[in-house]
Every structure is written in structure tokens, then in C-alpha cells.
Structure 1
Amino acid sequence: MDNPFGKITTLEHVMGFFNDGMTLMFGGFGGVGTPPELIDAILEKGISKLTLIGNDTGFPHIGIGKLVSKERAIKVIASHIGSNPIAGKLMHEGRLAVEFSPQGILAERIRAGGVGLPAILSDIGMDNEIVSSNKPHFLLNGKDFLVESALTAEVSIVFAKKADPYGNLIYDKSARNTNPLVAMAGDLTIAEVEEIVPLGSLHPDEIITPGVFVDYVIPSKGVNWKWAWE
């Protein structure tokens, strides 16, 4: 293996994967479970014109909301934006496109993208123009369904409690939220973690995201990781 530390690398290295105009998927729910160091680094690098995919737009100064508040996104696909008034303001002013998807359907669209399905069928929101607008319909067994396209991204970013050098991840309580699905649906997935443990330290039954879905692991500030291959 070229890297003696497996998939563990530095924040500086992974920043080369972020570019203007890209599609970025993020884990988290209202900021809980969103990778803070990665968000700050994207801001610092000046990345803009992003299409963001995730549960919500966080809060103005928490989570993905930092990117939205600084107008680094041109489009958001989310279940709601109500916790971030700046997102609502930008949407009403025509400076941020928002595609709303019911929370469960959003999660399933992400899961579908992660397992390689092109779309799912749903009857949720059939009578709601915000949900159904411009979406194709499909007749199955005499019943009409919306065709909800699967969601993927060029890069997915997730936040985990622990990782080993192979990228196996576990999450901290409710920070688990959408992270396991998001980790599956990126062409490239980067995990920011609070603790890096040696190989074999994670019991197979506690691993939530297998390392096969994770391309890079970066430590949060203050995490000692140079010993992780021992």
C-alpha cells in the first residue's frame, strides 16, 4: 500500500478535490454530524457555485449553513431550509435555487444513488406542487407514481466518531443521522473523524459505514494519528 497509514491523509491533500461548480453531498442534521473542519476549509479556499445535497441548510453559522450564508451555493437539494433564514432570503430573492424533497424520500434518493439505482417511485407529495413540479410520472399496477431521481455527488463529506486506517467508521449517537447514506453516494467520499484507532480496534458489529465506501479519512484538529498503522 503506497500510503503506510491506509486512507488517512491531511486536510491539505483532500482540498484538491473541491472545485467551483461541483456537486457536494454532506452528512448532518441541523449541523449535528456535519464535518466542521472540511466546511471551514471549503470556505477558506473560496469554493463557490456549489450544488449542495443534504438534509437541510443548517443554521447561519453552524454546519453547511456557513457555506449557504456566504452565498457559496447556487442550488440546494434538501428536505427543509427553515432553520437558516438566510437560505430562505436567498431563495426568495432568486439567488439560491432550492429543490425540496420530503425527508424520507430524500434519504431514499441518496440511498438509491449509493447502490446504483437510477430512481425510485413514490406517491408522497403527488398533490404538492413544490414536491411534484417538473417530475415525470409512472403508472404501475394502475397507480400513478412520481419518479424521484437518485442522488449522487462528485464528493461526499461525512463526520464520524471513530475510524481505522481502512476507513471503517462509527458515529456518535444522533450524529449518525444521514452520514451512512451520504458516504455511499459520493463518487469520492471523505470522512472527518474525531478519533483514529488501530486496525482491529473496531468490532465488526459496531462498524456502521464499511471502509469500502470511504476514500479518505482526515483527523479533526488535535487528533494524533501517526501511530495508527501500528
Structure 2
Amino acid sequence: MRRMSAAEAALLLRDGDTLLIGGSGGGHAVPDALLAAIGDRFRQSGHPRGITALHPVGLGDGKTRGAGHLAQEGLLKRVVSGTFVNSPGIARLALEDKIEAYTLPQGSLSQLMREMAAGRPGLMTRIGLHSFADPRLEGGRQSPSAREDLVELVQFRGEEYLFYRPYAVDVALVRGSAADEDGNISMEHEAVTLEMLSIAQAARRSGGLVIAQVKRIVPRGSLHPKLVKVPGILVDALVVEPEQWQTFETEDSPAYSGHQRVALEDIPRLPPGPRRVVARRGACELFEGAICNLGSGIFTGMANVAAEEGVLRRVCLTNEQGNIGGAPASGNEAGAARSPDAQVDQPYQFDFYDGGGLDLAFLSFAEFDAEGNVNVSRFGGRIVGPGGFVNISQGAKSVIFGGTLTANGAPKAVQRVEQVTFSGAYARQRGQPVLYVTERAVFRLGAEGPELVEIAPGMDLEKDVLGVMGFRPRIAPELREMDPALFAEAPMGLAHRLPPARPRAALRRLGMAEAAD
């Protein structure tokens, strides 16, 4: 293991290499000093050129950091990621067709790292079927020059699956909190741990270099072995960045790293407005002990609502980056969580999600259509990508989509979505309950598409709801008024009317044992 500067590490990348990058969103475990050095080297020398950048999660501060350092014409040939939302420079290159751009389900890319580490042929999963990741639709492509098939439709024992192809990694960038003199990497001060181990193993498996960025060096033997996330036997080079922040916005939050518990009830109340209404209506779907995911966007406010209503500790909120319990962060720090009960590696969180572990998923929509399809990945001249949306929405027992019914006067309920990130037909086929919650009305997925089941008090059905939609939904015979408490200033009293826990089949054994006693 060799210690070097970020600039020296950037020289190790050659033209045409495949670069695998760890990290998440707004600076969570992002090796930003290394990415900045690569960007600086290209500006000064024109090298490395034609790089393939692979990172399961979007990386950036919404401006120029993270993957944004690489957003230079000629530096990148191809980008494969879960999302470009954090790196507008990458999205711009994709829109201008100056890179081969692919956005694939974040969970599938995360799990693919483990398959690559083990030398297996790739990842076979149902996740992504009938979404734009399916090669029968777009195969995850986000630019015209992205012509190669990275995802294949396969048949196994009479059922359809998607097969995600592996990659040969030349250089992998990982990040941790500390390294000892043998290169063992700990992550005790990071907000997430992700798939850093799998990334390093995948690079080693294909003969690539592993470069680690850390904040400090500690003496040999001083790291507890259970704190080591990437063993030194996998690390080839080490870059120390003393100014490394925990996220792009927070230097160090003990609540994010789990070193300090904070009062979850101290989360501020949401101000009056559509976001509060939608988050409150979503919270009405909670029940005692529900295991939930809050996606980025409008439903991140549900943590605020749950705290205000006194039910935050009576449900379990999770996020795909691996936090379980606590209060998921929002905005540019989405992916972290205040005072989580557990932090697991991201691939294992997606194993749980894909296996049906979520009772409820609360996800935002950019638009939904007459077939019940939902789009969050490409709309309005923007390339966003799905992030963990595809895994979460397909795996959850029930899914609740939230958003405003219009945006800047334009309908968000459209005849046909621009890109299918969630398939209404596939949900119906699997018997998955689906709601679409807006500030004016609530719809449920019926046999023929979204069906209007609730309308806000004082709204005119034709003028305020149907008149601002791009299609005319079926109207439920039992059309109800949305609870007026959703729009009031005072708490809704959810703590006193939270439905009881839904029985899990496995727990019947406990009941049988108790009866036997």
C-alpha cells in the first residue's frame, strides 16, 4: 500500500479506463478530492480521455462537485449510474449526446458489485421488468449514442428476468474515515457505508487498482477489526484528505454517523402548503410497526409529519443507502439519517427491499398517466434517472406516490408518461396496491388505470381536478372528501388513530407458542 497525493493518484488513470466510484448523493462517502484531481488533470493535460465512469448512486452537490468534476467533454466516454440528479453537468453532456449515458436501478447496480467481486457472470433479477430499464423499452439508455445493450431479457424456468452485465474495472475509488498504516479502512464517521467492500473486491477481481481517500492515518493495529470495512489487502494506494467533510454540507454530524442520539421529535414542522398536505395524507397510510421507505422529494416531509404527530418511533423509516430507523435526512443530504437504529451496507438493504421487506413505500412522482405508469427518470427536458425508485416501488407490498397535481400550471397527470419508471400494468399483474396522492385529490390504481377516490374540500371536481389533468380517470362511486384535518394548522391526532400492526405470517408461530404455554 502506497501513500500519495490526490494529484499523483489521478495520474494512475489511463485513457479508456473503466473507473468505479463509491459514494452517494450529496457527499456521503464521496471521494471528492480524488475526483477533483482527475478533473484538474484533464483540464491541464487533456488526459485521461474516453473514461467509462460507473457509480451505483448519483454523486454531487447539484453543482460541480462529485461526478461533476468529470463533466468535461472528452474526459468521459460513458457514464452508468443510478441517477444524474446530483450532477447536472453529467446530465447536460447526456442531453447534448456528448457521452453514452445510461441510468439503471440503483439497487441492481449496487448488487451487481457483489456479483463482479465474486466473478459471477452478472446479476439476474426481476427488478426493472417493464420499466425503461427493460430492453424492450429503452434498456436504461439516456442518450442516442448509448447503443450497447447493458441489460438483457432472459428466461429462466419459464419466467422473465433482467440480466445486468458486469464490468471489468481498471481503477476503483473508495472512501473511509481512517486508515491504519497497513491500509485497513474504517468508516465509523461516515453517514453511510454503501458497497465499498464490494467495489474494492470487484476491482481486485478484474486486476484493477483500488485507491482510498481517508481523513486521517492511525497507528497499525489501532482499528477495531469490526470497524474495518475495506481490508488493507484490497487497497493499493492511499490519499489523505484532512479537510474531508462528512457530506458536502456538513463537516461532521454525530447524529448521522450514529455516535450521538438526538431527539427525533425536534424535527421542525412543515410549513403550510401542498407539501404538508401531501405528506400528511401519506402519513394516514401508516400503521403500527410499519417498515417504510421515504423516497427523495415531497415525501421526505413525512418524517417531519410523523414527528409532529408523535408516531415517528411507532414506525420504522428506512432509506436505500442502508439506514434503518431514525429520521431520514432530506434535501441535498438525502441518504443520511439522524440517529438510525442500524446502518447496513447498501446491497443488503436492497436485498431486503427486493425481497418484499417494505410494508409501505412513499415515493414522489414527476408525472403519472392514464395507465397508472409513473415517471421520475426523464421529464421536462431533464435527465434524472431512477435512483433506488425501481427497486423500492417494485418490491414494496404497497406503494404511495405523491406530488402536486400540476407544476407551473402544467398537468402532471398526463395521457402518457415520457419514460416508464414504474409500470401500472405490471403492478396490477402482481396485485400490488397503489395510491397517487396530490394536494387536490387522491387516486388508486384500478383495473383500467388511476381511479379518483378522494377530493379535497372546496374543490370543484371538473374545474379544479379533472380540468387540470391530461386524461379523464374513472371516478369511484364512493368518491370521498379528503379529511379536512389534512389542511388544518393543528396536528391531525394521528397518534390516537394509528391502525394496529398488520400480522406477519411468521409471527403466527409466536402466537401458537404463546397459546401452547
- For normalisation by structure 2, the TM-score amounts to 0.40
Whether 1:151 aligns to 2:167 is: yes
Q: Which amino acid aligns with 2:111?
A: E
CA–CA separation in structure 1 for the residues paired with 2:86 and 2:218: 35
2:213 is the counterpart of 1:198: no
The answer as to whether partners of 1:161 and 1:169 remain within 8 angstroms in 2 is: yes
1:212 has 2:214 as partner? no
Displacement of 1:204 in angstroms is 0.9
Give the letter for the 2:169 counterpart.
Answer: A
User: Which amino acid in structure 2 is aligned with residue 56 of structure 1?
Assistant: G
Deviation at 1:89, TM superposition (A): 2.3
1:184 to 197, 201, 210: 201
Deviations 1:148-205 (A, max 9, x none): 1123410001111011122211112324234333222221100011011111101111
| Structure 1 contact 29–178 (Cα < 8 Å) conserved | no
The answer to whether the aligner puts 1:33 opposite 2:23 as a matched pair is no
Alignment correspondent of 1:23: 18
Distance 1:102 1:211, change over 3 A: same
**Contact 1:100 1:131 (8 Å CA) reproduced:** no
In structure 1, distance between residues paired with 2:68 and 2:195: 16
Amino acid at match of 1:157: L
Contact 2:67-2:90 at 8 Å conserved across structures = no
Q: Is the 8 A contact 1:33 1:175 kept in 2?
A: yes
Q: Secondary structure at the match of 1:139?
A: strand
Greater RCO (CA < 8 Å, at least 6 residues apart): 1
Give, in whole Å, the separation in 2 of the partners of 1:15 and 1:91: 24
Q: 2:164 aligned with 1:163, yes or no?
A: no
Unaligned runs of 5+ in 1: 1-6, 224-230
Which moved further from structure 2: 125-134 or 208-217? 125-134
Residues 178, 64 of structure 1: alpha-carbon distance in 2 compared, 3 angstrom cutoff = farther
1:113 is aligned to 2:116:
yes
Deviation at 1:213, TM superposition (A): 1.7
Q: Are 1:87 and 2:90 an aligned pair?
A: yes
Larger CA Rg, structure 1 vs 2? 2
- Counterpart CA distance in 2 for 1:164 and 1:8 is 12
Residues 164 and 196 in structure 1, CA contact (< 8 A), matched pair in contact too: yes
Q: Which is worse superposed, 71-80 or 189-198?
A: 71-80
Deviation at 1:143, TM superposition (A): 1.0
SS in 2 for 1:64: helix
Structure 1 stretch 96-105 or stretch 213-222: which is displaced more? 213-222
| Equivalent position of 2:155 in the other structure | 139
Distance in 1 between the 2:153 and 2:234 partners? 32
Q: Residue 44 of structure 1 aligns to which amino acid in structure 2?
A: D
Q: Distance in 2 between matches of 1:131 and 1:92?
A: 21
- Return the offset for 1:15: 3.4
1:15 partner amino acid: A
> Which amino acid is the alignment partner of residue 9 of structure 1?
R
* 1:24-63 to 2 correspondences below 5 Å: 24-30=19-25, 31-46=27-42, 47-54=48-55, 55-58=57-60, 59-63=62-66
- Give me the whole-angstrom Cα distance separating, in 2, the residues matched to 1:37 and 1:161: 14
Separation (CA, whole Å) in 2 of partners of 1:75 and 1:34: 20
Match of 1:122 among 118, 122, 125: 125
Distance 1:173 1:147, change over 3 A: same
Normalising to structure 1: TM-score of the pair? Answer: 0.85
Determine the C-alpha separation between the residues in 2 that align with 1:210 and 1:57: 24
Partner of 1:226: none
1:9 aligned partner: 3
121-130 or 170-179, which moves further after superposition?
170-179
Segments of 5+ residues of structure 2 without an aligned counterpart are 43-47, 140-148, 245-517
CA contact (8 A) 2:38 2:69 kept: no
Change (3 A) 1:73 1:57: farther
Letter in 2 for 1:22: D
Structure 1: which amino acid aligns with 2:100? A
Distance 1:36 1:57, change over 3 A: closer
What amino acid does structure 1 have at the position aligned with 2:196?
Answer: N
Q: What CA distance in whole angstroms lies between the structure 2 residues aligned with 1:16 and 1:66?
A: 15
Q: Partner of 1:228 in structure 2?
A: none
CA contact (8 A) 1:56 1:80 kept: yes
Secondary structure of 2:53 counterpart:
strand
* Of 66, 69, 73, the match for 2:76: 73
